[in-house]
Structure 1
Amino acid sequence: MKVSVIIPVYNEFATVEPAVRAVLAVNEADEIILVDDGSTDGTRDLYPAIQALDESIIRIILHEKNQGKGAAVRTGFAEASGDIFLIQDADLEYDPRDYPALLRPIMEGRAAVVYGSRFRGGPTKTMFFWHMVGNKMLTFVTNIVYNTILTDMETCYKVFRADVVRDIPLRSRGFEFEPEITSKVLKRGHRIYEVPISYNGREFEEGKKLNPWREGPKALYYLLKYRFVD
């Protein structure tokens, strides 16, 4: 099965090239699609050198202006040609060495959707307390509303059999992509398979963008909204 790794990028000058090198090193990706969502920090100047790392599988797509992570992932889904889609952030918080464990349930036909959980026992750098609280609250609501037992709804590492997500209408532009895709996958009867992953959380001064006080209420709204509308 052909694996497409989709990497949304926004102002990741310091980490995007090491992230791509890490993806290449595990030798699991048949296609790497970087979707630059309007970077303004010099990230775009790096793309010729990044593409030269392996021109046969690396593709660069540019958004003219910043639209949000969800919009970048949707562009990646539309452009990807693989049988499996794997979402990878460009900030090195998530380790591509977890790819074999993430891909195995789909490759073996045991699942159509796999999430990597930071709360199932993998090695982790301590995350911010309020990020953890917000994550667990949103995951708890997900479990109640959609009758499931996830431990990490907000994880970056979401892996899909391509035919599952190609038929799902996605509209989110920002971080609300996480509850939207989770809600719609579960509503279509796909049980999500979780595997433990490692996590190396960034500090805000290192470029971390997610603000739980701003994004948490939005995520809660979309979890409830998509329970009743599609």
Structure 2
Amino acid sequence: MKIDKLSIIIPAYNEGGTIHLILNKIKAVELMDNIQKEIIIVDDCSRDNTEQAVAAYRDENPDLNIRYFKHPVNKGKGAALHTGIAQATGDYTIIQDADLEYDPEEYNDLLKPICKGFADVVYGSRFMGSNPHRILFFWHTIGNRWLTFLSNMLSNLNLTDMETCYKLFDTKLLQSLNLREKRFGFEPEVTIKMSRIPQIRIYEVGISYYGRTYEEGKKIGWKDGFRAIYCILKYGLFTGK
């Protein structure tokens, strides 16, 4: 399958100190088959210098296709993704957190099943493959696996990592969904709603994971886990439209 452009959506909140690092990594990646990159940064009303950092980076890299949007009030990661999805013009769209937990060098690994004509959606799993994974929180890992298991039960999928950031979608299919979750409930909602598209082809590939501690800036907490359970039940058991 021929892909001309990949939209990379970056939800950002108080990432002024590191966002240039992830942009450097994205810039350095040469996508297979000469696929072009569209970088969509959605600043969810950061209180630091994120806006200034992005502006400076864009001025220094005029050849890089960076589009910047800012929410006037903080709405949550899911809301930032909604904004980015609506603005995406690429054939396919991938989600990239502004931190350094996920490696853009692996974009091509996710693109391969698409370009070979096998997949419409590809998830990057932190729990499969031989790539490096930082060892962090036991209960966080158990929570992720349990949420994936519950999601699989109600979506009839066999994913190993539903909560992964790296999700690569056919842009038109993604934009066709009525997505409602404003925070981290985005992950189970988009997974369950995508699974219900007739003849959808979902693949999974192993990726590396360079996780952050809470002291280093990790933002997801136990409240988000309970919200994820609610969303899985809401969209899995009921229509949840």
Q: Fold match, TM over 0.5? A: yes
1:5 counterpart residue number: 8
Residue 191 of structure 1: how far off its partner (Å): 3.8
- Pairing of 1:124-203 with structure 2 (within 5 A): 124-189=133-198, 190-203=200-213
**Match 1:119 to one of 120, 127, 145:** 127
Residue identity opposite 1:137 in structure 2: W
Q: Is 1:52 matched up with 2:29?
A: no
Q: Give the structure 1 partner of residue 101 of structure 2.
A: 93
Per-residue CA distance 1:74-118 (angstroms, 9 max, x = gap): 100111110000100000000001110011111221100000000
Q: Give the TM-score of the pair, scaled to structure 2.
A: 0.92
CA offset digits 1:166-217 (Å, max 9, x no partner): 1110111101000110010012242420000000000111111010x21111
Specify the alignment match of 1:77 in structure 2. Answer: 85
The answer to whether the 8 A contact 2:118-2:201 is kept is: no
Q: Does the 8 A contact of 2:144 with 2:163 survive in 1? A: yes
Who is 1:204 aligned against?
A: 214
Give the letter for the 1:38 counterpart: C
Return the match for 2:18 from 2, 15, 18.
Answer: 15
Query: C-alpha distance in 1, partners of 2:72/2:189?
Result: 24
Give the equivalent residue in structure 2 for 1:226: 235
CA shift in 2, pair 1:159/1:208, >3 Å? same
Tell me the C-alpha RMSD between the 2 structures. Answer: 1.2
Query: Displacement of 1:45 after TM fit?
Result: 1.8
- Residue 106 of structure 1 contacts residue 161 of structure 1 at CA under 8 Å; is this kept in 2? no
Taking the aligned partners of 2:201 and 2:149, their CA distance within structure 1 comes to 16
- Give distance in 1, aligned partners of 2:42 and 2:202: 26
Answering whether residue 223 of structure 2 is matched by residue 214 of structure 1, we say: yes
Q: Is residue 102 of structure 1 aligned with residue 110 of structure 2?
A: yes
CA distance in 2, matches of 1:143, 1:62: 34
Whether the 8 Å CA contact 1:113–1:160 is kept in 2: the answer is yes
Q: What is the alpha-carbon distance in structure 2 between the residues aligned to residue 196 and residue 220 of structure 1?
A: 24
Letter in 1 for 2:154: V
Equivalent residue for 2:29, pick from 26, 29, 51: 26
SS at match of 1:89: coil
How far 1:14 sits from its partner (Å)? 2.0
C-alpha distance in 2 between matches for 1:55 and 1:89:
22
Identity %: 50
Task: Return 5+ residue gaps in structure 2 as ranges.
Answer: none
TM-score, normalised to structure 1, is 0.96
The alignment covers a number of residue pairs equal to 229
Could you tell me how far apart the structure 2 residues matched to 1:79 and 1:191 are? 24
Displacement of 1:53: 4.1
Q: Which runs of 5+ in 1 are unaligned?
A: none
Q: Which segment drifts farther, 53-62 or 32-41?
A: 53-62
